[in-house]
């Protein structure tokens, strides 16, 4: 059995832990593993690296991905999608493990429809993949946000300011909700709930007059004020999957707050800090469980599946179910965070 593995889309702490787990479990079954470099790009250009237990030794705690990644979409043209199918055959791959978010796994699902045996491992710090309670990388991201909020509290309080903290979360506000709850945010704004700027300003004013005199507002990059179509961004650049580059809502909001309340305001974009560095213990364990289960599925002859966490069990679901819709924030958790607003 010859297994190909690739990591696609935005990187995420825990990718190396998955690669290591796949290689180690594959060795147990005597399967060969080939690493594909830079996501789907490596299958268009045939850029691969042999993987064995020696090669993956020591990579468990490392952030990023030893295979590299890209946001290449082979289905952007029939020419590149054909190349991918042909190169999978040329390389003699019996099965391909794709580790990625909805875009990368969407490609894996399409390839499966075309007769290529694929398995998906769900990855995104945004935690917005359907059918799995958690994706690895999310726990690391919210730990980073929590630490940042702790630090921002002291400086924001000292200056009696309003601090708007922009976090990742394009379609869903998981990082904002969990990070904001853990870090004691005074308000959390998420894509699922368009907000009124006046209401945000009321909270800031009230806290400036009667509270501790400062406010910490966490905003997901995909959050928008009511009545605005699309996103508030600084850039109009799009990636190969057509996603516009986000970033800008934090600055916009900080300016609005200062203008409308007179409270001195600042913004911070946590950006790629949320994706960098070593995964937490939780993410390492989840990544190991996903990687091992992916190879077990191959051994059981189950393809076109995505490994997933449901409750505390690793299960598998059809790939097309995992990518068909976005998993938005659990409003029960958001309501708990709301208790601490204001």
- 126 given a catalytic annotation: yes
User: In this complex, which beta carbon is closest to ligand F6P, that of residue 88 or of residue 164?
Assistant: 164
User: In this complex, which beta carbon is closest to ligand F6P, that of residue 125 or of residue 219?
Assistant: 125
- As measured in angstroms, the least distance from the Cβ of 18 to ligand F6P is 15
Q: What is the binding site for ligand F6P (CB under 6 A)?
A: 9-10, 101, 124-126, 168-170, 221, 246
User: In this complex, which beta carbon is closest to ligand F6P, that of residue 266 or of residue 275?
Assistant: 275
Q: Which of 126, 128, 139, 316 is catalytic?
A: 126
- As measured in angstroms, the least distance from the Cβ of 85 to ligand F6P is 26
- As measured in angstroms, the least distance from the Cβ of 11 to ligand F6P is 8
Residue with CB nearest ligand F6P? 10
- As measured in angstroms, the least distance from the Cβ of 191 to ligand F6P is 10
SS3 of the chain: the string is CEEEEEECCCCCCCHHHHHHHHHHHHHHCCCEEEEECCCCHHHHHCCEEEECCCCCCCCCCCCCCCCCCCCCCHHHCHHHHHHHHHHHHHCCCCEEEEEECHHHHHHHHHHHHCCCCEEEEEECCCCCECCCCCCECHHHHHHHHHHHHHHHHHHHHHHCCEEEEEECCCCCCHHHHHHHHHCCCCEEECCCCCECHHHHHHHHHHHHHHCCCCEEEEEECCCCECCCCCCCCCCCCECCCCCECCCCHHHHHHHHHHHHHCCCEEEEECHHHHCCCCCCHHHHHHHHHHHHHHHHHHHCCCCCEEEEEECCEEEEEEHHHHHHCECCCCHHHHHHHHCCCC
User: In this complex, which beta carbon is closest to ligand F6P, that of residue 128 or of residue 186?
Assistant: 128
Residues known to be catalytic? 126
């Amino acid at each position: 059995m010859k297994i190909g593995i690739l990591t696609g889309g935005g990187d995420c702490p825990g990718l190396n832990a998955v690669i290591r787990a796949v290689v180690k479990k594959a060795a147990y079954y005597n399967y060969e593993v080939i690493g594909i470099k830079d996501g789907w790009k490596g299958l268009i250009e045939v850029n691969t690296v042999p993987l064995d237990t020696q090669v993956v030794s020591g990579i468990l705690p490392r952030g990023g991905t030893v295979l590299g990644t890209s946001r290449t979409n082979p289905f952007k043209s029939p020419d590149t999608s054909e190349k991918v199918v042909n190169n999978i055959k040329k390389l003699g791959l019996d099965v391909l493990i794709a580790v990625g978010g909805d875009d990368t796994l969407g490609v894996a699902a399409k390839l499966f429809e075309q007769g290529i045996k694929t398995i998906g491992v769900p990855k995104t710090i945004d935690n917005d993949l359907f059918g799995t309670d958690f994706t690895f990388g999310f726990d690391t991201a919210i730990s980073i946000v929590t630490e940042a909020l702790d630090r921002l509290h002291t400086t924001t309080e000292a200056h009696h300011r309003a601090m708007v903290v922009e976090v990742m979360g394009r379609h869903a506000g998981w990082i904002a909700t969990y990070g904001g709850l853990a870090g004691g945010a005074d308000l959390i704004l998420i894509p699922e709930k368009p907000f009124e700027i006046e209401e945000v300003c009321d909270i800031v004013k009230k806290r400036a007059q009667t509270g501790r005199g400062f406010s910490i507002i966490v905003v997901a990059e995909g959050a928008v004020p009511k009545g605005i179509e699309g996103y508030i961004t600084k850039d109009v650049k799009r990636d190969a999957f057509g996603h516009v580059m986000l970033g800008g809502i934090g600055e916009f909001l900080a300016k609005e707050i200062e203008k409308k309340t007179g409270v001195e305001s600042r913004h911070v974009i946590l950006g790629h800090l949320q994706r960098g560095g070593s995964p937490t213990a939780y993410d390492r364990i989840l990544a190991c469980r996903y990687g091992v289960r992916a190879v077990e599925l191959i051994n059981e002859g189950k393809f076109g599946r995505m490994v997933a966490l449901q409750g505390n069990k690793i299960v598998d679901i059809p790939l097309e179910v995992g990518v068909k819709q976005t998993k938005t924030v659990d409003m029960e958790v958001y309501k708990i965070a709301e208790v601490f607003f204001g």
